Chain A
C-alpha cells in the first residue's frame, strides 16, 4: 500500500508543462503530472506517444524546449548532477559490456558512482541477492539469457542505492515467468522505500502493480492520477458481477424485475453462472443484494466490477500509430 501524504510532501517527480519538439515534430505538448514518493507509477501510451522522451527529460539526458521537471525538488536543468545521484535509469535498449562478468559489470558501475572497495563488495552482493543473480556472479554477460541480462541491468541501476528508479519497458522480451519475477522484485523495491516510474505496454501487470498511472497519447497527458480513480472513473451506473451456483434458466428475467437493477445479462465469454448487472447509481447495492437473496438464488459471489486498464487505455487513446 502506498503511504499517505500531507500537502507539504515533495513529489518524487514533478513534471510541469513539459514541451519538446524534434525537427518540427511535436513530441511532447504541455505534459504535466506528479509522482509521489514510495509509489509505483505506471507510464503508458501507444508507440510514439512521447514516453521515452519524457523519461529522458526526467533522467537529465534531454533538455526540453519548455517546461519544468524536478526530481525530489531538484531541477533537472540546473541540478542535473544531484538528480543523477538520486535516480537509476534503465533504458529500453539497455547496453551491456558483454565481455565482462556480472560481478565486473556491477563493480564498474559501483566504482563509477564513487563507492569504495569495501562497500562495493557488500552492495554488489546485496543487489545480486535481490535480483536472484548471486549464482551467476562469475558468469560472462554474453552467456546470459535476455531475462538474466534484464536482472543484471536492474541490479546495475540499484548499485548506488537510488531513491527513484526509471524503468523504460523493463519487461519487454521477457517470458511470463521472468515478467512475474520482475514484478515481484519491483514490489519488494517499493517495500524498501523506492519510488518506481515504469513505462510499459503490459497493461494487465501494470494494473496490478501500480499505485498511480499516467496515460499519454500524441504528446498529451490523457489521464494522471491514482489507478483506482482511473478504473472507477466515468461510471454512470454501477457495474457488478454476480456468480450463481446452478442458476435457473429464467435468471436474467428474474433479476431484471428487481428494483435498482437497470440491466442484467449473462456474461459474455464468462464461465457458467456468471452475470453482469448494471445498477442504478442511486440505489444502495446492499438493498439489491438483499433482493437477490430474497429470490432464493444460490449466490457464490457478488462484487463491483472495475473497468480494466486495457479498456481505460483504449478509451483514452486514439487509434493508429503516430506518424
Chain B
C-alpha cells in the first residue's frame, strides 16, 4: 500500500513540479506580495501604520483563493481520473482507495500550502510596518491552513462522490455557498421570537447552529485574530473543528471510494425519441449555441430546474418576511429585497464563473478543437456563440434579478453607490471571465482560482484608473452641460476597458484556440 501511495504521490508531485505554470503562479504571488509590502511601506512613510490593513487584505484574499480553489482545483482530484477513464487502470494496478485518495489529494494540498508558505516571509515584513504582531500572523496562517484542510477535504469528498468534474464542482460550490449563507440566515431566523407558531426549540436549534457555524467560520476567526489586542491562542476552536471535520470527510472519501468509483455510465440508448424531441429537438440556426446550451449547460430540463430553484429562493425570502412581519402588506421589506438581490447576484456570479472555466476547456478535453475549427464558422463567431449559449443558461438568474428590480425599484436604487457597484461588478466579471477562459486553455483545473487571483491583484490598478476616468468624464460633461455625465463616464470606462484589457485577452484566446487546433 505504501509503495503504491508513494508512487502515485511522487507522480502527482513530479508532474506538478515539472509544469511551469505552478512555479509561475508562486513566483507571481511572491512578486505581488513584495509589491504590496512596498506599497504599504510607502504608506507608512506618511506616518500611518498600514501593517494591519495590509495583512487583513492578504488574509481575505487567501480565504477567497482557497474557497475558489476548492470548487475548481481540489474537486478534480479523483474526478480527473474518472473523466479520463484511468481510475479503473489505477485499481487494476493494485492501488487501494486509501492510496489513490491520499496521493491525489495530498499532492494538491501541498501545492496549495506552498502558495501559503511563499507568503509567510513577506507577511512578516508587515510587523515592521506596524499594527500587527507576529503572534497574529502565525494564528492567522494556522486558521487559513485549517480552512484549506477543510475545503480541500470537502472538495475531495465531492470528487469521490460525483462521477464527473462538472458535477463535483457544482456540489462543492453548493456546499460552500450554503456554508457562507447559513451564518446570516440562521441568525435572522433565530431572531423570529415574535412568531407565535414557531416553537422556541426550533429557534434555539437555529441559534446553536449559527453559533457552530461561527465557530467554524474562518472569516470570524480572522476577525477575532486581527481585532484582538489581548494575548492570542494560536489554535482556537475553528482550527480543531476544521481539522476534525476535514479528517472525517477524508475518512468518508476513503470508505465510500469503492461505492462511487464507477465511471459515468454510458447507456447505449438515450431517452425515448419523443422525450428527446422535447428536451433536445432539432439543431438551431446557431448550431454552437444549440450544442452548448443542451449538452454543456444542461439544456431545457436544467434551465427549468434553475428557474424553479430561483423561484423557491425568492419564495423563501418572501416566507421569511411573512414570518418576521405576519401583518405586513408588502411581500418583502426593502432590506430583504436588497439581501435577495445580493444573494441572486452571488449565485449568478458563481454560475457565470463555472461556465467560463469550462466552456472551452471541455472542448479541449474532448479533442474537439480541430473538428470545430474545420467548420465554416470563424473562430470569433464560434466563441460568441458559446457565450450566447451560456447567456441562455444564465437567463433564470437574470429573470430573478429583473423580478427583484421590478418588484421594488426604489429599494434597489437605494443601494449605496448603485452605478459604481454595477459598473464595478461588470468590470470585475468581464475581466475575471475573460481571464478564466484564457487560462482554461493553458491549465487543467486551476484556471478559476488563478483568474480570481489575477483579478484581485490587478483590480486596484484598473479600478483606480476607472474611477479617475469616470471623474474626468463627469467633470467634462458637467462643464458642457451634459446631464447623465456619470453614465457617459461608465460608457467611456467600458470602452477603455474593452480596448486596452479585454481585447488583448480576446485576441490571445483566439490565437491560443487556433494553436490548440493544430496540436
Contacts and interface: CB of A to CB of B under 8 A. Distances in A.
B421 interface: no
B371 interface: yes
Interface stretch (A84-92, A183-191, A224-232, A310-318): A84-92
Contact of A101 (B270, B288, B366): B270
Interface stretch (B169-177, B374-382, B387-395): B374-382
Name, among B366, B376, B377, the residue most crowded by chain A CB atoms within 10 Å (CB to CB): B376
Give chain B's interface secondary structure class: loop
Given A84-B376, A143-B266, A108 B367 contact: no
B290 A89 contact: no
Given A97-B291, A110-B283, A91 B371 contact: yes
A95 to B, nearest CB: 4
Given A111-B290, A114-B376, A95 B367 contact: yes
B518 A56 contact: yes
Contacts of A138: 269-270, 273, 276
A140 B376 contact: no
A117 B288 contact: no
Contacts of A59: 374
B284 interface: yes
A113 interface: yes
B384 interface: no
A108 B376 contact: no
A97 B376 contact: no
A125 B21 CA distance: 48
Contacts of B28: none
Contacts of A108: 283, 287, 290-291
B259 interface: no
A253 B273 CA distance: 74
Contacts of B367: 93-95
B283 A111 contact: yes
Interface string A71-103: 000000000010011000101011111111100
A140 B268 contact: yes
A104 B281 CA distance: 8
B266 A61 contact: no
B36 interface: no
A56 B515 CA distance: 12
Interface in B256-287: 266-270, 273, 276, 280, 282-285, 287
Contacts of A308: none
A258 interface: no
Interface of B: 266-270, 273, 276, 280, 282-285, 287-288, 290-291, 295, 366-368, 370-371, 373-377, 517-518
16 contacts: A61-B517, A84-B375, A93-B367, A95-B368, A95-B371, A97-B368, A108-B290, A108-B291, A109-B287, A110-B283, A111-B283, A114-B376, A120-B282, A120-B283, A139-B268, A143-B266
Given A95-B367, A117-B282, 16 more contacts: A89-B370, A94-B371, A97-B366, A99-B295, A107-B283, A108-B283, A108-B291, A111-B285, A114-B376, A120-B283, A138-B270, A138-B276, A140-B269, A142-B268, A143-B269, A144-B268
